[in-house]
Chains A and B, each alone.
Chain A
Amino acid sequence: MSVDTATVKKVANLARIAISDADAERLAPELNNILGWIEQLGEVDTKDVAPMTAVMPNTLRLRADVITDGNQRDAVLANAPQGEHGFFTVPKVVE
């Protein structure tokens, strides 16, 4: 499987990272080199092997259904690049 510049641009768009044509040209061979090396995994026989889901045996815990946090509006907004009237603000998304 070979990655071309169009694929790099598509993946970058999926990842929401703006890249220039020059970036895509540079990244395509780099990614191909890495992905080509990764492909050796295909030679491992994994028939009847379950994919790992938890590295240490652990059970998902339930906690009491009670409020443990809240009323932290100012702390939540403290690092926002832009906030107004107690909200995060972003460019207009609805016309």
Chain B
Amino acid sequence: MRRGTPSWLFALVLTSLLCAAPAVQAQAEPPAAPRPPSGLMFADIPDDAGSAVKLDWRLSPDDSAGVGVVTGYVLERGDSPVGPWTLVDSLLARTSTTVDNRIKRNHAYFYRITAYGPGGTTPALASAGPAIGRESWFNSTRTSVLVFLVVFFLLVLYYMSAAQGGKKPFVRRLAGIDAIEEAIGRATEMGRPVLYVPGIQDIDEIQTVAALVILESVARMTARYETPIRVPVAYPIPFTIAQEMVKSGYVNAGRPEAYEPDSVSFVSPEQFAYAAKLSGIMLRDKPAAHLFMGSFYGESLLLAETGFATGAIQVAGTANVHQLPFFVVACDYTLIGEELFAASAYLSGEPRLVGGLKGADVLKLLIIVTILVGCVLETFGHHGLTQWMQTQ
């Protein structure tokens, strides 16, 4: 020690070195690899196309919360008990189950699972298999849907045939549907066109189908009243169908020569581009009646409010629950939910279509009874009906 160096500083440095020594020694020692998980079990997922197998295992004995020896698990799959192995999934610690849903149907697979951590990976204990994903012929979780569907179809067919045989059921009038003819009449008096908007969805949306079916009846009325109709359409397939519908309406009204091919136009599938075009039509051409039928989203209020500002009579119909309040506020009449689907039957008055409405009403009654029975059963702790109604 050199002269001038305080002895207390020397003592401090020495103490620090002595204290640090065990830590340095601990860092140098590699941690042990976690012990492997065990008891790997497999089971075919029922009611599917044979594309999934469920796997369960017991956690590694070193996998305890907060210990950190196990970082996760690696699940592998092979065609034989000895491999070669393909990675299925890497799972977090404390996970003891997963589903492999990327397998080929009716093919035998073997699985193995290992645990890994900061200390490395231990070899798997053994492989499990053969696991085979069997495809089913019937998804039994959908039995309740099938039962209700069959009952519904039978009811509708029965009431349709009864209506065809002369027993036309009574259906109460809907103000919104009566208002369609009133709106077209008003447009005729004012010498202005009728604007018909069949929603902003493609033909795979059933509301668009319903809207196009209603269009035929509306076109028949406009043909009878000799009032021009404008039908801007958002998607190409509904556009071609809308052309057929309008043409059909004019033919059925006995005025095929009055049909204008330009009355139906393709606009754009882009929501707000479509809304902009429609707003332009409303403000420039000033149609006296706006009929919004079909599926609508955020543009519903833009359309209905612009239409309201022009003073046109407006009738809307949609099953999109979130848009209904906007239409109720901004339109004179609104067809709510199922009324949109019933409108074509009301407008055409065709006995078979009206009979179909009666069938739907009877099923609705059946569903109400089922809900009430379900409530009672659940209240008394019986879950059978609820479980039967659950689908996958």
A and B interact: no
